[in-house]
Amino acid sequence: MDFFFFFFYVMTKLNHPNIVRFFFFFFFPGNLYYVVELGRRFFFFFFLNKIYTIDIPIAKLFFFFFFFAIAHIHQHHILHLFFFFFFILLDDQNRVKITDFFFFFFFGADQPFFSERGSFFFFFFFFSPEVLNETPVGPVFFFFFFGCVVYALLVGYAPFFFFFFFATFGKIQSNNYELFFFFFFYAKDLIKKLLMLELFFFFFFNTFDSNYEPIRSHFFFFFFFWDNLPRQPVPELVFFFFFF
C-alpha cells in the first residue's frame, strides 16, 4: 500500500508535456489497473535504430524533450530508477514521453538529493560510471545518459558502444569515446561537459532548482525559445548523412 501511495503521489505530482500523463486507476477482481497517456509511435530508440542518425534541427528538438522531462522530474526531488529505452516513447507528433515511474526514489525537501547506492537500471550502453562503481549518485548523473543520447542522435550509435558488454563497461569507466571531426564546436563542447566521470565536476552540479540554467545557457542551445518547445510537434524523422 505504501508503494501504491508513493506511485500515485509521483504520477500526480509530475505534470509535463514530455512525461506520460496519469489519468486514473481502477480495481478489477484481483488486479489494479492504471490508465495513462498512449505513446502512439512506441519506442524512441526503435526509430533511432531504424534511421541510424537524425537531421540536426530535429535532433536538437529531441535534446530539449529529454532535458525538459529530466529537469521537471528533478525539480520535484524525484530520481527515476528505470531509464530503459523501452520507457522512452513517442506520441503521434513525434514528441518524447518519459514513462514507467514504478521504480523511483522520492526525496523530501529537507533530504540530501542523492542515492547512496547506484541501484539504477539503464540500457547498458548508457550506464553512468557512478552506477557501475556502486558509488553515490544524484540528479546530475542522468545527464551522463543525456550526453549519450546527444552523441547517439548525432552519430547513430552510443559513445561507448562495443560488441561485448564487459568491453562497453570498460570504455565507460575509462571515459573512452571518440569525438568525430564533423561535430561542430558547440556540440563537441556540450558532449565533453556531459560525459564526465566525476559528478562534482559537472559545470551544472546541484542546479536542478534553477531548472539547470547553466545547460539552458550553453551556446549549443542559442536561438531557441524555451517556453513553447515541450509541446512543439516534430517533423517526420529524416536520415542525416555526413559528407566526409
- Does pTM surpass 0.75? no
Split at pLDDT 50, 70, 90, the class of 235 is confident
Task: Give the residue-averaged pLDDT of 132-139.
Answer: 68
Helix or strand run (H / E) with residue 23: strand 22-28
Q: Is 190 or 139 the better-scoring residue by pLDDT?
A: 190
Average of per-residue pLDDT across 210-223:
76
Pick the CATH number of 2-231 from 3.30.70.20, 1.10.10.10, 1.10.510.10, 3.40.50.300: 1.10.510.10
For the chain, which residues make up each domain, given as ranges? 2-231
Predicted pLDDT of residue 40: 64
- Tell me the three cell numbers of residue 199: 559528478
Q: Tens of pLDDT along 161-185?
A: 777 777 877 787 788 888 877 677 8
53-67, 117-131, 154-168: least confident range? 117-131
Residue 1 predicted with pLDDT over 50 = no
What stretches of 23-164 show up as alpha helix (H) in DSSP?
44-51, 56-75, 129-132, 142-155
Q: CA 56 to CA 220: how far, in whole Å?
A: 11
> Any long-range contacts for 146-151 (C-beta under 8 Å, 24+ apart)?
146/63, 146/66, 146/67, 146/70, 146/194, 147/190, 147/191, 147/193, 147/194, 147/195, 148/195, 149/62, 149/63, 149/66, 150/59, 150/63, 150/187, 150/190, 150/191, 150/194, 151/177, 151/191, 151/195
What whole-number distance in Å separates Cα of residue 202 and Cα of residue 7?
30
Q: Cα(138)–Cα(130) distance, rounded to whole angstroms?
A: 9
CA distance 24 to 227: 28
For residue 233, what is its C-alpha cell?
Answer: 510537434
**Cα(218)–Cα(224) distance, integer angstroms:** 11
What confidence score (pLDDT) does residue 243 get? 38
